[in-house]
Amino acid sequence: MEYNCSRCHQRFPAPATEGEQELHGLHCPRCKAEAGLEPVKATPLAMKLFAAFLGTAVVAIAVGGILSLVSG
């Protein structure tokens, strides 16, 4: 689990256990902010599929453009 600081955009790993988090207090290692820390979740599968689809579409458009240039 990672956290992203919305203040300085530093990404840092969270303490392994919740007890450790409570003991030390969860804060940004760079700017020491305790507020505005957003848990970073793993990229959802739907997002990956969408990215793959987008990449394929871009390649298809590029190839189509090149083919039309060559044939035209």
CB 26 within 8 A of CB 14: yes
Establish if 37 lies at the interface with Zn ion (CB under 5 A).
no
Helix (H) / strand (E) element for 11: namely strand 11-13
Task: Identify residues 5-24 at the interface with Zn ion (CB under 5 A).
Answer: 5, 7-8, 10
Of 16-24, 25-33, 39-47, 54-62, which part binds Zn ion (CB under 5 A)? 25-33
Of positions 13, 20, 22, 31, contacts Zn ion by CB under 5 A = 31
The count of chain residues that interact with Zn ion, using the rule CB under 5 A, is: 8
What are the residues facing 3 on neighbouring strands?
12, 39
Q: Which residues contact 37 (CB under 8 A, 6 or more apart)?
A: 3, 4, 5, 6, 26, 27, 28
Q: Which chain residues interact with Zn ion by CB under 5 A?
A: 5, 7-8, 10, 28, 30-31, 33
